[in-house]
């Protein structure tokens, strides 16, 4: 699965018992947004669902910790309240970011792949490139 433009996007590829997600964007926050979008798209199509009220999720730490925390929050929401984000926006704060999730019931999303179980720490990366563009990589355990 690929959603791409020169400026921002993501690509996924299947691997035995997991999925690898690669993301690019011009800023850290945009890269986190694309990672969330690509992550959800790997298991659910939310295009026809109507997003609910925004839920703010503060995340603290370095870029890789922010990436891990955001995706684990999506898994937590799916596992505990059976919802998935149809839209995600991310804004910076002094010691991290605030992710704003617009959630929909999982039943309103069309399943397109195996539900995620966890985010692997192995190969996890979110960093600014020499070109100024940000890149993230995630291995999703399914």
Domain extents for the chain?
2-141
**What are the structure tokens assigned to 63, written together?**
């870029």
Enclosing H/E stretch for 71: helix 63-81
Going residue by residue through the chain, which has 142 residues, state the pLDDT in tens, using 9 for 90 and above. 556 567 899 999 887 789 999 999 999 999 999 999 999 999 999 999 999 999 999 999 999 999 999 999 999 999 999 999 999 999 999 999 999 999 999 999 999 988 999 999 999 999 999 999 999 999 999 8
Say if CB 61 and CB 69 are below 8 A apart.
yes
Class of domain 2-141: alpha beta
Q: Which long-range contacts (CB under 8 A, 24 or more apart) does 92-97 make?
A: 92/28, 92/29, 93/58, 95/60, 96/58, 96/59, 96/60, 96/61, 96/66, 97/28, 97/29, 97/32, 97/58, 97/59, 97/66
Instruction: Tell me the pTM.
Output: 0.94
């Amino acid at each position: 699965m690929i959603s791409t433009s020169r400026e921002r996007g993501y690509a996924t590829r299947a691997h035995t018992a997991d999925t690898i997600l690669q993301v690019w964007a011009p800023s850290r926050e945009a890269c986190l947004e694309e990672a969330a979008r690509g992550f959800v798209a790997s298991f659910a199509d939310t295009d026809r669902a109507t997003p609910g009220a925004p839920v703010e999720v503060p995340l603290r730490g370095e870029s890789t910790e922010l990436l891990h925390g955001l995706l684990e929050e999506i898994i937590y929401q799916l596992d505990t309240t059976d919802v998935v984000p149809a839209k995600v926006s991310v804004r910076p704060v002094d010691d991290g970011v605030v992710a704003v999730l617009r959630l929909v019931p999982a039943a309103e999303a069309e399943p397109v792949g195996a539900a995620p179980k966890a985010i692997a720490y192995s190969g996890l990366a979110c960093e600014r490139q020499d070109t100024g563009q940000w890149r993230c990589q995630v291995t999703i355990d399914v």
